[in-house]
Structure 1
């Protein structure tokens, strides 16, 4: 088979083999002898040396090629760039190096007219996806397009990166894209069934985790595709029973990320993580009942297990949330300093499902002083010496008590007592409402 190869072809084959194996010395020696080899491509796919280095994660070879002024946006037969191949194969080091070298994040291939963002989402490389999105925030290309437009960029069949991530069962990528402004209810063109939303595609793939993420961000269970099917029917058709149970319109409506909260521009990441955890824990408790085939009902605020009372008795009254009197305060409104638990913070905005097509920018208000909530941070507690200590410090005795209370809050369906489909104060009874009414006059005002 090798007898028909010319000398030049043999040399080219040796170069590409050395690149695939990461033999830097051999590659250097060959390029020193013949610098024109940097412009050679494979016979069929027309992969350049830079494509091969990027696809195989050979960052030293890739760096050497870029130093020799090789075009970072060179394309192969399918108009794919080295950046696309790095995203496809999850080679984060090479991807970052190419971006630093000025690789264009908005190039489209000729197969499906996809960008590197589509490739990272499709193949589930969340680190590559995050790196491309971070680059887009300061990229002249993304600035000229608009960042939100870039995040929701469509391929040749009308699929945005979120559609691809949902269909391929990539929950981490789904979360990253939603966090960066992906439209949760956008419909496809010809990808999947025309008119499919990310929720339709998650139902088709049977991914519970993707379904949970989309529902928590307000995905509409009743939106129909071009064939008139809701996601529930898609899940049934593909025999994904667990997904179908969550998507069944007759089951309880999922708790969603409140629009006013998720668009707070300066939402502290630690606080956001606490709120997300509280929301997902509450939805999982709801799901347990749905998946068991039992009707879901909100627990009574006055109900508590023995274990809960034991944990609460260990903590002082000043540590407990003054709304529900069940959980330790973990969230603080920075401007006014009032503190609540993550569950009650969400309850202030979760009683009405937001319209997923509208980005509501009106911030919620503090229930104690009625000032607008502009920034949420992780609450701080005081130790015995009255020194402020972050609740995240594990060594604190109070932190141990807080952890016990939070651990309990994620164990039972009674953990989300303040969060109902009604006004958060509509069913607040017993200790919580009495104490708050005594301490906050605005409760009694019309």
Structure 2
């Protein structure tokens, strides 16, 4: 009787070792000899062959097992699926294979009552997170839970995937979740009792990059947790000085991504990337002003001012934005075709309120022709010199700079917050001073 369990354990270890090492030949031989081994699990954790293959990134073994009609939603001791295990370990190829095989993304485990999305966010595997979110957009999730519900689903302690990503200092995952509709001010509290927001958790962990992302998406610096503390107080308690300086309610509010605007949600990836970079650069300039005169400095590298100057020196003067005279035109307004730099485009669309819901939903207008902005795209190089009276024409920009400064849209009253106007612009032998105009318009 003593030899029976021992022999079984040896056989089991040999089978699971073959899966772990990707020994497909041995595995096929074993399965052909006895197909019932497909139902075997490890003794304690009840891990199936799929769980072990997913955890060790053995995609060939995983594919072979799925081709033999193994259930992709098998559960281990903690009711975790192979998809959850793959998300925990960041095995993107296994995540994609399991999703294509019909793995259920709506299941919860019994350990923390978390889904595969929670685990991908918690462990910071942005590719896995993106793959799961993409599957949620095209699966039955939309018809059952709804995509927004899935993105903001809570675990056993009331934490959404965004809470977990902020808590674990995962800025890439924070950005993906916010861009996918995660609620930036969601609280972990239930039944009417306030809990912690993602900003509280980022402040606790001292993650400056997560704080930047959350603030740029409208996180409220004044929202209190269950103990009545604002994120600023939490950052101070944990001695995160730079984070506390940015979270201080008395410091200048950052620019907020204009998510309520329809044409912003429909941006193509290239245009969106340009605007997001401009937004972060603008907020970095604010950070420098906030930290100026303090004992703190920004630990993470900011965009080099020298690099921007190099780009400007190589570019023709005619290509400069005729609003700020500082940045090269990179964004084109459709259908009028007028062009601006990404910083000035954001100044038209962004706001300084702590919550995006408070932003005006009125569509911004082109500062040149006053037509409503319906679409933004990356500006391409001019190929036609005959542009008539179009103000987007580089030749006309050079002769109408002073006109654009005095006749510009009232939408630019807050544009000095971008930081581009702290310099001067030159045109021919004349010199236009911007600082005086900024002082009059800066809120």
Given the two structures, how large is their TM-score scaled by the length of structure 2? Answer: 0.80
What is aligned with 1:167? 167
**Deviates further, 178-187 or 286-295:** 286-295
Cα distance between partner residues in 2 of 1:78 and 1:106? 15
Pairs within 5 Å for 1:206-285: 206-261=206-261, 264-285=264-285
C-alpha spacing 1:361/1:84, structure 2 compared with 1 (3 Å): farther
Contact 2:194–2:224 (CA under 8 A) maintained in structure 1? no
Contact 1:418–1:428 (CA under 8 A) maintained in structure 2? no
Q: Which of 410, 415, 420 is 1:419 aligned to?
A: 415
Structure 1 stretches of 4+ moved >4 Å:
260-263, 305-317, 357-362, 385-388, 427-432
Cα distance between partner residues in 2 of 1:58 and 1:268? 35
Cα distance between partner residues in 1 of 2:306 and 2:178? 39
C-alpha spacing 1:248/1:197, structure 2 compared with 1 (3 Å): same
Pairs within 5 Å for 1:47-446: 47-189=47-189, 195-261=195-261, 264-293=264-293, 315-316=315-316, 318-353=318-353, 355-357=355-357, 362-382=362-382, 419-420=415-416
Cα distance between partner residues in 2 of 1:143 and 1:359? 30
What is aligned with 1:401? none
Cα distance between partner residues in 2 of 1:313 and 1:59? 50
Cα distance between partner residues in 2 of 1:201 and 1:51? 31
Cα distance between partner residues in 2 of 1:160 and 1:369? 44
Cα distance between partner residues in 2 of 1:323 and 1:97? 50
Cα distance between partner residues in 1 of 2:262 and 2:204? 27
C-alpha spacing 1:361/1:264, structure 2 compared with 1 (3 Å): farther
| Post-superposition offset of 1:324 | 1.5
C-alpha spacing 1:240/1:262, structure 2 compared with 1 (3 Å): farther
Cα distance between partner residues in 1 of 2:378 and 2:310? 25
RMSD: 3.3
What is aligned with 1:13? 13
Aligned-partner SS, 2:113 = coil
Cα distance between partner residues in 1 of 2:246 and 2:50? 46
Contact 1:168–1:205 (CA under 8 A) maintained in structure 2? yes
Q: For residues 361-387 of structure 1, what are the alpha-carbon distances to aligned partners after superposition, in whole Å with 9 as ceiling and x for unaligned?
A: 54322222222222111011225x769
Contact 1:183–1:357 (CA under 8 A) maintained in structure 2? no
| Post-superposition offset of 1:279 | 1.2
Cα distance between partner residues in 2 of 1:310 and 1:254? 27
Unpaired runs of 5+ residues, structure 2, are 296-304, 388-393, 395-411, 433-443
Q: For residues 1-20 of structure 1, what are the alpha-carbon distances to aligned partners after superposition, in whole Å with 9 as ceiling and x for unaligned?
A: x9673433321221111111
Contact 2:42–2:48 (CA under 8 A) maintained in structure 1? yes
Cα distance between partner residues in 1 of 2:425 and 2:354? 30
Contact 1:260–1:364 (CA under 8 A) maintained in structure 2? no
Q: For residues 197-250 of structure 1, what are the alpha-carbon distances to aligned partners after superposition, in whole Å with 9 as ceiling and x for unaligned?
A: 110000011101000111111111111011110001111111111211111112
| Post-superposition offset of 1:317 | 5.0
C-alpha spacing 1:277/1:313, structure 2 compared with 1 (3 Å): closer
| Post-superposition offset of 1:359 | 8.0
Cα distance between partner residues in 2 of 1:105 and 1:351? 36
Cα distance between partner residues in 2 of 1:66 and 1:125? 24
Aligned-partner SS, 2:103 = coil
Aligned-partner SS, 1:129 = helix
Q: For residues 112-134 of structure 1, what are the alpha-carbon distances to aligned partners after superposition, in whole Å with 9 as ceiling and x for unaligned?
A: 11100000000000000000001
Contact 1:270–1:378 (CA under 8 A) maintained in structure 2? yes
What is aligned with 1:442? none
| Post-superposition offset of 1:263 | 6.1
Task: Give the paired residue count.
Answer: 393
| Post-superposition offset of 1:258 | 2.3
Cα distance between partner residues in 1 of 2:424 and 2:345? 17
C-alpha spacing 1:314/1:428, structure 2 compared with 1 (3 Å): closer
C-alpha spacing 1:268/1:3, structure 2 compared with 1 (3 Å): same
Aligned-partner SS, 1:380 = coil
Q: For residues 22-75 of structure 1, what are the alpha-carbon distances to aligned partners after superposition, in whole Å with 9 as ceiling and x for unaligned?
A: 111111111111111110111111111111111111111111111111100010
Aligned-partner SS, 2:186 = coil
Cα distance between partner residues in 1 of 2:155 and 2:67? 32
| Post-superposition offset of 1:327 | 1.6
